[in-house]
Amino acid sequence: MSSRTFVPLCFLPLAIFTIAFLALPLVRLILASGEGEAGWAIYLEILQKPRYLSTLIQTVVISVAVTIAALAISTTAGLFLVRNRFRGRGTLLSILTLPLAFPGVVVGFMIILLGGRQGLINQITPGHVVFAYSAFGLFLGYLYFSIPRVLLTVMAAAEKIDPALEEAALTLGASPYRIVRDVLLPALMPAMIAAGAIAFATAMGAFGTAFTLATNIDVLPMVIYTEFTLSANIAMASALSVILGLVTWAMLLIARSFAGGVVAAGG
């Protein structure tokens, strides 16, 4: 067998699997979204019905807030960890990347332990402080799994910055603040855009966390879930899934064009 026949043969398992379990279902999902009473106008309906529109807006607002917070925290911590070598640095880094492997449900439970009825905050503060099931709890949950992802992307980029750039700025008399503003942040910008896009996409699509917190905040994945399981409104669930998929996919395309790597989504 020559390589002209062998190499295409190597694609065969992938082709069979991908066509059967990815291409076909995705096509079916898109078609199903147009099979409701409204037909393809269902996409218009999403923008017109307050329930869906407010869900969309709430999801975007929370995701944007999480993205900004995660970028601020992770860039600060990431730069600190790249620029300083000290005892315990490895431990801090391990702690900060630990939640990478946590499914969304576990993250939700972590927030319940912090801000639930039996949570830490409620125990150590006077009065009744329970935030796990509010929008703030959801925000904290999303932040929990976003910090490690943003941190890894930013640190990888920060490690590639030539220290001579900073030294050159120092010899030219730049203050530490100017160095951060004029040298470090511009060099980190592509990585921050990429990391931000990943964080945003992950937050948009996060299901497990919202599911565990069982919040009364309507976020897109929860609405898709209830439309499908409770209302059996398959067309709407499909249409919302298509929109969600397009948004997260576009976000990750942006991320990839700014930085090559992939960090696992999901949460």
Partner 1 sequence: MLKSPAKILQLAVTLLACAFLLVPTLQSVLAGVTVNYFQGVKSGLTLKWIGEVWTLYSASIFLSIWLALCCLISTLIIGVPAAYALARNPGRLSRILEEFISLPLAIPGLALALALLQVYGSVQGFRAHWSFILVGHVLYTLPFMVRSVLSVMAAIDLKTLEEGAASLGAPAWRRFTDIAVPNAMPGVLAGSLTVVTLSIGEFNLTWMLHTPFLKTLPVGLADSYASMRLEIASAYTLVFFVMIVPLLMAMQWASARAQRTLT
> CA separation (Å) from 108 to 99, 121, 128, 229?
12, 16, 20, 21
Tell me: does residue 186 bind partner 1 (CB under 8 A).
no
Q: Site for partner 1 (CB under 8 A): which residue of 21, 40, 90, 178?
A: 21
> CA separation (Å) from 142 to 67, 90, 219, 239, 266?
9, 24, 12, 24, 11
x/- track of binding to partner 1 for residues 36-55 (CB under 8 A): --------------------
Q: Site for partner 1 (CB under 8 A): which residue of 133, 200, 207, 258?
A: 207
Distance in angstroms (rounded) separating the CA atoms of residues 184 and 167: 12
Tell me: does residue 84 bind partner 1 (CB under 8 A).
yes
Instruction: Tell me the window of 44-52, 53-61, 157-165, 221-229 that interacts with partner 1 (CB under 8 A).
Output: 221-229
Q: Which amino acid is at 233?
A: N
Distance in angstroms (rounded) separating the CA atoms of residues 172 and 80: 23
x/- track of binding to partner 1 for residues 135-174 (CB under 8 A): -----x--xx--xx--------------------------
Pick 171 or 177: Cβ nearer partner 1: 177
Q: Site for partner 1 (CB under 8 A): which residue of 153, 166, 208, 258?
A: 208
Instruction: Tell me the window of 54-62, 159-167, 184-192, 248-256 that interacts with partner 1 (CB under 8 A).
Output: 248-256
Pick 190 or 245: Cβ nearer partner 1: 245
Residue burial 169-198, b: 16+ Cβ < 10 Å; e: rest: beeeebeeeebeeebbeebbeebbbbbbbb
Q: To the nearest whole angstrom, how small is the minimum distance from the Cβ of residue 188 to partner 1?
A: 14
Tell me: does residue 125 bind partner 1 (CB under 8 A).
no
Tell me: does residue 224 bind partner 1 (CB under 8 A).
yes
Q: Site for partner 1 (CB under 8 A): which residue of 192, 237, 258, 259?
A: 237
Q: Give me the half-sphere count of Cα atoms (radius 13 Å) on the Cβ side of residue 67.
A: 20
Tell me: does residue 3 bind partner 1 (CB under 8 A).
yes
**200 and 67 Cβ atoms separated by less than 8 Å:** yes
Distance in angstroms (rounded) separating the CA atoms of residues 50 and 135: 19
Distance in angstroms (rounded) separating the CA atoms of residues 146 and 256: 17
Q: Site for partner 1 (CB under 8 A): which residue of 68, 172, 189, 214?
A: 214
Q: To the nearest whole angstrom, how small is the minimum distance from the Cβ of residue 156 to partner 1?
A: 10
